[in-house]
Structure 1
Amino acid sequence: MSATAKLGAIPHEDKGRSVGWAALACMGVVFGDIGTSPLYTLNTAAKAASPDGQITPEAVLGIVSLIFWSLIVVISLKYATLIMRADNHGEGGILALLALVSPRRVKQNRRRAALLVVGLIGATLLYGDGTITPAISVLSAIEGLKIYAPQMEHFVVPLTVVILAGLFIIQRNGTSWLGGIFGPVMLTWFIIAGMLGVGGIIRSPAVLAALSPIPAVTYLWSAGPLAFVVIGGAFLAVTGGEAFYADMGHFGPLPIRVAWFGVALPALTLSYFGQGGLLLAEPNSPEVLDSPFYALAPQWAHYPLVVLAAVATVIASQSIISGAYSLTQQAINLGFLPRMTVVHTEGREIGQIYVPFVNWALASGTIAAVLGFGSSDALAGAYGIAVSLLMVITTLMATYVALHWKFNPLIVYAVNGSLLALDLLFFASTSTKLLDGGWFPLMIAFAIAFLMLTWRKGTQVLDALRVNIRERTQDFIERLLVNPPIRIDGTAIVMGRMAKGVPLALSHNVNFNRTLHRNVLLVAVEMTETPHAQDHDRIKVVPIDAGLTRAELRFGFMEQPDVPQGLADAMARGKIEKFDLSQAVYFTGHETIIPLGKRPGLPRWREAIFAFMHRNAQRPDAYFNLPSAQVMEIGIEFEI
């Protein structure tokens, strides 16, 4: 349930306080990534602008102005004001946006098919982002140790690896206990970052000239080819903006906007302007150029600030890890990934689910990034390219949805076209780092996108084969009447992928065992393109004949399908006749795929990959929460 729906049930006098609490909570979840970007953004851009180690006042003002106006246009205008309007029944995120394109109807429209591929690439870019974000965030925080203690430099990478390893290890136990401190810690972080920034502004009030876009335009115009690299560095200030949209369903748009405009944006502005003021005051200081954020703090507060920064970056990392779990669950339910083990923890917002395979894959990629790149400066190039491409894709898909919703085309093309031009500029600037590490998240994204498309196409081939092999319902009923099997007492619940024909598990059982329960319920589970299925539309029941009934259960793509609970609810509503669920037998098919290259649609080598994914998918009884003691599997082979 989205936060908007939750607020709808709250008395009017409590809504203000509820929005306030939601705004506090969302600071840790939504703003963890963008909130810790002051640790590495300005120094990355400043180093790009000063290859000789000397930075000019014009470059400082230009960079600060570029960062500030990027926050205004990309975050405040694009995400907080416009993109968050493209919700899917209150839910946001790239897969919610992809569901609005209706991927199951892509055959009707080539443009939809192209958008499907583009949207899948956008979704997988979040996995690349999820690999880089914990690495660069924690690494940049721990690097603060070497500012006043250069001898600690050799401990930065090992300590970062230990922190990240611990973070991934605790995921299996659930992390809801961290959720309670996320908001207050990030609020403290924003307050301190803003206060430190005030000190830098006081030292050089001239930095306030960067409130105008003119210094940015002037500097970029005169910087020549160097401007492209500087733009790529400044872009790091807006990484994390996609969380505004992705987490909209958890909190609702209003609390996110209140927290952004009321706390996060002012604090980030003060921090960046303060760092710029310090660079104006000490342009030739290597320490300031290396880490202007930490240089703002007095020496006595340096190590407590490192600790606070480390905690804040762990929060940013936890948010992206939890987001990867949620993204995976949505992708499974929408049919883009095979079933995986999804463990439900006790959490309500953070750590609701834990996906072991995703956790350890992210852990391997993140630790490999830390060991391979070795510093936040090296990781900065790898970081921006995935996020900037995701922003391009989000704008493209939001444009399509806006046109589909019949908004004025002239306004849509004018506004979204301008935002797309800015996104493409950022993407082009970050692409200059493609060979310096930008390939890493792109390689992850494209590999996962390839697996998603292989799984989806293989599933379509397999479904077509099922339709051809399945016995027609009417033929099966006639066969039962002509040559009836032995009918035994009780209820059989036969699981099948589609609500047509007779599931192979049932026909095989009748053919070989010559038995059939007196009551047979043919259950097909459909995952809808809405986040949550409506209660009144949860089940569709069609009586057949000879004791057979067909039931189609619907679940939203953000829900975990629970067949027994769905049937119990249907009985309580009088949709199906009551029976004892604890005594029912669930029939499922244990499918084995044999890739032979017989079917059009996939070459044999991709069929082999699909067969491998299918073989290692979670068993249907676990995925649909069927009681294992009541499940009978029927082995079925498919040659494709």
Structure 2
Amino acid sequence: VGLFLVQHKGVAAIGRVFGPVMLVWFLVLGLLGIAGIIAKPEILAAANPLRAVDFLVHAGWHVSFLMLGAAFLAVTGGEAMYADLGHFGALPIRIAWFALVLPALMLNYFGQGALLIAAPDALENPFFRLCPDWGHLPLVALATMATIIASQAIISGVFSLTQQSIQLGFLPAMRIVQTAHEERGQIYVPAVNWLLAAATLTAVVVFGSSDALAGAYGIAVSMLMGITTLLAALIALRWGYNPILVFAVNGAFLALDAVFFAANSVKLFEGGWFPLVLAGLVALMMLTWKKGNELVEEARAALRLPEDVFLTGLQHRDLLRLPGTAAFLSAAEHGIPLHLSRFVERNRALMERILIITALYEETPTVPRDQRAHVTILAPDFYRVILRYGFMEEASIPEGLACAVESRHLPPHILDDMTIFVGHETIIPRNDKRGMAPWRENLFAFMQRNAERTGAFFGVPTRQVVEVGTEIEI
């Protein structure tokens, strides 16, 4: 609970000690393992994979199947240490894994195996039995710090994935707080933080112990490995690798993942249902939000006027032109946003200078500042501005417009006395079969009502924002 309570303060300050602590942790793991191996060096024979094959063949399929599920827990946990390392890139992750983490883990497991050969009565807690008595308290303290850091990595990773899911259109806009202005990626998502806290406390109450959670953990991680393999195959195909090679390599990994998942599935009713239910609920919300937005965009497109039709209509209207600049945020790259045409219809007035602004997310982590803004002049003092951001960036309308001025795509005075108009859409479920199931339409409407306001999400000061309401049937 304490870890969730301090998330809003950020981890930039204490994050500097995470690396040294984890370095010490893995070095200690390796040293403890080496001590065990020295006592019983014959354990190194276990490195021969034929030993495992021989055991699986002679133990019988039932015992072998159960053993695979039990042994699988030995390879879990590593993903927690690396859940939020995407900011570092592939090379540092490879170096850390192959030079430190993997050797330390293998040495420690070999050491535990050697200890069990020498002292079978150490089965209950072989890890701490590897350590001399005088080192138990320091080891407990170090293990506690490593656990906290691993938990923090998971929380930070979920924050990053949430931000990217929002930008890719799979989750509604949420309040995202940048906790370290000097370092990109240090964010805090309040709604997700408290949902994680509630889910964690629920798991503690329902399962009661880490042993009872073993089934949930095994199924969750084996599914994660399978999904990762599928995604790696899709990325490799998209990058143009030989399809035969992609299917051969990833097919072998996927077959192994499937065996491990099957071995863990026997624990489905012993806690394995928990991650499946959570994953199903999250997937349902993401797919509902994605589909709902597609239906909303279809409804918008049917009502949206083309630029030439709107501009021609302006010439034949006797409009009151008001001083200043009006910026209308739009989700589409073409056409006139509904709240702009509704504003003109209702008020018979328009500002002297008009901007239609669309923020788009690219399939790259970042977009260079000089490529941020693309401006099209639709008419005198009437501009369409496309702002592009990477999926790891936080979109900011003020920052994007500043880029457009810096690159001389927009005149500086256009930002003076600017009001930003955003559409506030009320979703009306039709409860028919043309869209989604009625209950999903109502779920989408609920999510849309509770989403972060568009202006706040894009960093627009509240004093500059005017919302124009519209109703959309889906």
Quick one: distance in 2 between partners of 1:620 and 1:570?
Answer: 21
Are positions 1:381 and 2:215 aligned together?
yes
Are 2:369 and 2:403, in contact at CA under 8 Å, matched by a contact in 1?
A: no
Quick one: distance in 2 between partners of 1:372 and 1:347?
Answer: 39
| Partner secondary structure for residue 540 of structure 1 | strand
Are positions 1:346 and 2:180 aligned together?
yes
1:176-325 to 2 correspondences below 5 Å: 176-224=12-60, 225-240=62-77, 247=84, 249-283=86-120, 285=121, 288-325=122-159
Are 1:176 and 1:350, in contact at CA under 8 Å, matched by a contact in 2?
A: no
Q: Give the C-alpha shift of residue 612 in structure 1.
A: 0.2
Q: Give the C-alpha shift of residue 540 in structure 1.
A: 2.0
Q: Give the C-alpha shift of residue 429 in structure 1.
A: 1.1
Q: In the alignment, what sits opposite 1:116?
A: none
Are 2:80 and 2:153, in contact at CA under 8 Å, matched by a contact in 1?
A: no
Q: CA 1:541/1:451 → structure 2, altered by over 3 Å: closer, same or farther?
A: same
| Partner secondary structure for residue 427 of structure 2 | strand
- Consecutive unaligned residues in structure 1, runs of 5 or more: 1-164
Q: CA 1:376/1:242 → structure 2, altered by over 3 Å: closer, same or farther?
A: closer
Q: In the alignment, what sits opposite 1:614?
A: 448
Aligned mate of 1:400, from 202, 227, 234: 234
More helix by share: 1
Are 1:174 and 1:347, in contact at CA under 8 Å, matched by a contact in 2?
A: no
Q: Give the C-alpha shift of residue 245 in structure 1.
A: 7.9
Quick one: distance in 1 between partners of 2:133 and 2:169?
Answer: 54
Quick one: distance in 1 between partners of 2:181 and 2:55?
Answer: 48
Q: In the alignment, what sits opposite 1:409?
A: 243
Q: Deviations over 1:491-533 (max 9, x none)?
A: 1111111122211221111111111011100111112222222
Are 1:505 and 1:588, in contact at CA under 8 Å, matched by a contact in 2?
A: yes
Are 1:592 and 1:637, in contact at CA under 8 Å, matched by a contact in 2?
A: yes
TM-score of the aligned structures, taking structure 2 as reference length: 0.95
Q: In the alignment, what sits opposite 1:496?
A: 330
Are positions 1:330 and 2:167 aligned together?
no
Are 1:175 and 1:350, in contact at CA under 8 Å, matched by a contact in 2?
A: no
Q: Deviations over 1:162-207 (max 9, x none)?
A: xxx1111110111112211111111111121222222222332221
| Partner secondary structure for residue 379 of structure 2 | coil
Are 1:509 and 1:634, in contact at CA under 8 Å, matched by a contact in 2?
A: yes
Q: CA 1:423/1:371 → structure 2, altered by over 3 Å: closer, same or farther?
A: same
Quick one: distance in 1 between partners of 2:425 and 2:287?
Answer: 20
User: Greater CA deviation, 422-431 or 220-229?
Assistant: 220-229
Are 1:491 and 1:579, in contact at CA under 8 Å, matched by a contact in 2?
A: no
Whichever residue aligns with residue 14 of structure 2, its letter is L
Q: Give the C-alpha shift of residue 321 in structure 1.
A: 0.5
1:63-74 to 2 correspondences below 5 Å: none
| Partner secondary structure for residue 238 of structure 1 | coil
Q: How many residues align?
A: 473
| Partner secondary structure for residue 328 of structure 2 | strand
Are 1:590 and 1:635, in contact at CA under 8 Å, matched by a contact in 2?
A: yes
User: Greater CA deviation, 378-387 or 457-466?
Assistant: 378-387
Quick one: distance in 2 between partners of 1:278 and 1:246?
Answer: 31
Q: In the alignment, what sits opposite 2:10?
A: 174
Q: In the alignment, what sits opposite 1:19?
A: none
Are positions 1:438 and 2:275 aligned together?
no
Quick one: distance in 1 between partners of 2:469 and 2:36?
Answer: 70
| Partner secondary structure for residue 73 of structure 2 | helix
Q: Give the C-alpha shift of residue 477 in structure 1.
A: 1.2
Q: Give the C-alpha shift of residue 471 in structure 1.
A: 2.2
Q: Give the C-alpha shift of residue 307 in structure 1.
A: 1.4
Quick one: distance in 1 between partners of 2:3 and 2:183?
Answer: 18
Q: In the alignment, what sits opposite 2:439?
A: 605
Quick one: distance in 2 between partners of 1:255 and 1:594?
Answer: 49
Whichever residue aligns with residue 70 of structure 2, its letter is G
Q: Give the C-alpha shift of residue 348 in structure 1.
A: 6.1
Are 2:29 and 2:105, in contact at CA under 8 Å, matched by a contact in 1?
A: yes
Whichever residue aligns with residue 503 of structure 1, its letter is P
Q: Give the C-alpha shift of residue 217 in structure 1.
A: 1.2
Are positions 1:477 and 2:278 aligned together?
no
Q: Give the C-alpha shift of residue 350 in structure 1.
A: 9.4
Quick one: distance in 2 between partners of 1:614 and 1:601?
Answer: 16
Q: Give the C-alpha shift of residue 583 in structure 1.
A: 2.0
Aligned mate of 1:464, from 281, 295, 298: 298
Q: Give the C-alpha shift of residue 277 in structure 1.
A: 0.8
TM-score of the aligned structures, taking structure 1 as reference length: 0.71
Q: Give the C-alpha shift of residue 428 in structure 1.
A: 1.1
Q: Deviations over 1:315-343 (max 9, x none)?
A: 00000100000000000000000000111
Are 1:321 and 1:359, in contact at CA under 8 Å, matched by a contact in 2?
A: yes
Are 1:486 and 1:516, in contact at CA under 8 Å, matched by a contact in 2?
A: yes
**% identical aligned pairs:** 52
- Consecutive unaligned residues in structure 2, runs of 5 or more: none
Quick one: distance in 2 between partners of 1:638 and 1:476?
Answer: 21
Q: Give the C-alpha shift of residue 592 in structure 1.
A: 0.9
Aligned mate of 2:320, from 486, 502, 505: 486
Quick one: distance in 2 between partners of 1:351 and 1:523?
Answer: 25
Quick one: distance in 2 between partners of 1:351 and 1:520?
Answer: 33
Quick one: distance in 2 between partners of 1:289 and 1:368?
Answer: 30
Are positions 1:553 and 2:390 aligned together?
no
Q: CA 1:422/1:347 → structure 2, altered by over 3 Å: closer, same or farther?
A: farther
Q: Deviations over 1:230-281 (max 9, x none)?
A: 2122222333555798655422222222222222222112211111111111
User: Greater CA deviation, 457-466 or 601-610?
Assistant: 601-610
Are 1:175 and 1:347, in contact at CA under 8 Å, matched by a contact in 2?
A: no
Q: Give the C-alpha shift of residue 451 in structure 1.
A: 0.6
Are 2:84 and 2:154, in contact at CA under 8 Å, matched by a contact in 1?
A: no
